[in-house]
Structure 1
Amino acid sequence: MIMRLLPLLLALLVTACQQPLPPGMAARGNLLLERSAPARGVDQRIRFLVIHYTAGDFPTALATLTEEHVSAHYLIPAAPPQRGGKPVVWQLVPEQARAWHAGASGWGDRTNLNDTSIGIELENPGFRRTLLGRRWYPFPPAQIAALTELAGQIVQRYQIAPQNVVGHADIAPQRKQDPGPCFPWRALAAAGIGAWPDPARVSTWLQGRPPGEPVAQARLLALLAAYGYPVREGMDDAAQRQVIAAFQMHFRPADYRGLPDAESEAIARALLAQYPPGR
């Protein structure tokens, strides 16, 4: 009987000898971590949310995004399947890990946004070429509903500033044009995700000028650079127009020819007033 009880008695003795850890201390393997003096010099690694489209169908995108050379944190189908009444989205990379979705990019004083962003890919063909020019594909409501839920959680979790919710074209205007002019930025902003200019502010800055009235290209580019767009010294006229076109595609998709006009300038000034740099 004593021999049978011996293991139990030993276990009780070991348990009795173990002292509870004091507040602020945690065990990790054979180490004890003292956490009672946290540093104040720290900030969140995730600063940006970048929206993309796949320019192809879901199976092709899933295969591409799970290979070695490109990735994204999330992929949302055009028609998300439902399970238990909830839409299913694909998480391909943990949020804490770095995904390869942004490439050469810049926003504000940051470059290489892969290091500081979460990337979401939306299944969408992008556009088709016609005799009348490009025809862009819309985003289905069910897909945008799933995106709104996911993006809203991410923005809240990392306290991402509205002006830091961007498209791939915003951060890489010389290479990319996604998510394109059909993407519903205004609807997302109304849901608390991203920025959108207040119409009254735009009207005030327009100062009665015709929307298409030409303005100084350099002045408009300075405003876009202050907002975050990657404007660099030595850019030729075509590259400058690409930056303007990316801005217009995001905030004025009815006309994104890249021409510097009064309405674009008014929108930029309204955005800077609503979302001051560095806030």
Structure 2
Amino acid sequence: MTQPTPHVARARRRGLYLVTALLALATLAGCGAPATLKERGGYWADQSANAQAYNHRVRFLVIHYTGGDTQRAFNVLTGPNVSTHYLVTPQPPRQSGEPVVYQLVPEAERAWQAGVSHWNGREQINDTSIGIEIVNQGPVDTNRLVQWYPFADGQIDAVIALARDIVARYDIAPANVVGHSDIAPGRKIDPGPLFPWQRLHAAGVGAWPDANLVAQYQRRFVTNPPSLYQTQVKLAHYGYDISATGTMDAQTKRVLRAFQMHFRPSDYNGYLDAETQARLWALDDQYR
């Protein structure tokens, strides 16, 4: 007898598997549906076979502050114009000794929290992110941005617990845990310079430049600093929306200020210096 070709043999096996599955369904028809068969009102979905070629929709975690009190936050975030997946209040209530956060949008749904945004080559970050809003007043002086409301320790503990869970479940890279100001420089300034990014990093969430690596780069850059063009290229490589023009233009000042608010919050004047460059180069080495 002539042996079938490999393609024919595979097709026959697939056909056999399909017939077997259909016979199994027919056999079970009178005995109740199996656990993998889901009725959806007009049709049934068989979930017994699982594909391997897919990944998570969620790539980014975006941190915000609300810019108002708790009541205003609930009013705005449950209204028709803006939303977020999670809201963390200043003094989170506790259940069985653990903080309670408010989930306003299911994680599988697209919350309206990032707006016009860009990070690491992707636009419209709403499509691929989960948002956490933290109730905080933000800057006291909105013109000079020199005085900010602090975050409460219990509030940050709740943010850490929530963020650590999200990052673990979606395998979000440290450099993709960002502030609203990172993905929309100049348009947004939250969560501001008082948000404790280094504390989150110590708890296993997000990126932070290694002090020894920063020191090495800073010693090098004191005498031989990278050009402004090279710095713009490096900022873009790390994730920021910036064009390499070689000039200290408005977009560069906005991005530098956002970077400094996140990674050098003691001085976020938007000007380029060796320390800022050293932190950027260290971060790019560590995470990109």
Which bin holds the TM-score, normalised by the shorter protein? Answer: 0.7 to 0.9
Aligned to 2:229: 218
Identify the residue that residue 240 of structure 2 maps to in structure 1: 229
Match of 2:275 among 253, 258, 263: 263
The structural deviation recorded for 1:127 is 1.1
- From the superposition, tell whether residues 140 and 247 of structure 1 become closer, same or farther in structure 2 (CA, over 3 Å): same
Report the alpha carbon displacement of residue 74 of structure 1 after superposing the two structures with TM: 0.8
Contact 2:62 2:129 in 1 (8 A): yes
- Matched residue count: 260
Alignment partner, residue 199 of structure 2: 187
Q: Match for residue 26 of structure 1? A: 37
**Equivalent residue of 1:127, what SS?**
coil
Map 1:122-161 to 2 at 5 A.
122-129=134-141, 134-161=146-173
Q: Cα gap change, 1:81/1:37 in structure 2, threshold over 3 Å: closer, same or farther?
A: closer
How has the CA–CA distance of structure 1 residues 26 and 152 changed in structure 2, closer, same or farther, with 3 Å as cutoff?
same
1:215 Cα offset (Å): 5.3
Kept after mapping to 2: 8 A contact 1:215/1:260: no
Amino acid at match of 2:59: R
Q: CA deviation at 1:208?
A: 4.9
What amino acid maps onto 1:64 in structure 2? V
Distance 1:81 1:249 in 2: 29
Q: Distance in 1 between matches of 2:242 and 2:145?
A: 27
Q: Secondary structure at the match of 2:63?
A: strand
Give the secondary-structure state (helix, strand or coil) at the position aligned to 1:135: coil
Q: Give a deviation string over 1:124-168, Cα, whole Å, max 9, x none.
A: 110112998620111110000011111111111111110000000
Q: Aligned to 1:114, which of 116, 119, 126?
A: 126
TM-score under structure 2 length normalisation? 0.82
Q: For the structure 1 residues 20 and 102, does the alpha-carbon distance in structure 2 shift closer, same or farther, using more than 3 Å as the test?
A: closer
Relative to structure 1, the CA distance from residue 209 to residue 222 in structure 2 (aligned partners, 3 Å threshold; closer, same or farther) is: closer
The whole-number CA distance in structure 1 between the counterparts of 2:285 and 2:243 is 23
Residue 255 of structure 1: how far off its partner (Å): 0.9
Superposition pairs for residues 46-195 of structure 1, below 5 Å? 46-129=58-141, 134-195=146-207
* TM-score, normalised by the number of residues in structure 1: 0.85
Does the 8 Å contact 1:75/1:90 carry over to 2?
yes
Moved more, 91-100 or 133-142: 133-142
Q: Which structure 1 residue ranges, 5 or more long, are not aligned?
A: 1-13
- 1: distance between equivalents of 2:265 and 2:218? 18
1:214 touches 1:260 (CA, 8 Å); kept in 2? no
Is contact 1:162-1:193 (8 Å) kept?
yes
Unmatched segments (≥5 aa) in structure 2 = 1-26
Question: Does the CA contact (< 8 Å) of 1:215 and 1:261 recur in 2?
Answer: no
Task: Give the aligned residue type for 1:67.
Answer: G
1:212-259: per-residue Cα shift (whole Å, max 9, x none)? x97532221211110001114679712210101100110001111111
Quote the residue 1:11 is aligned against: none
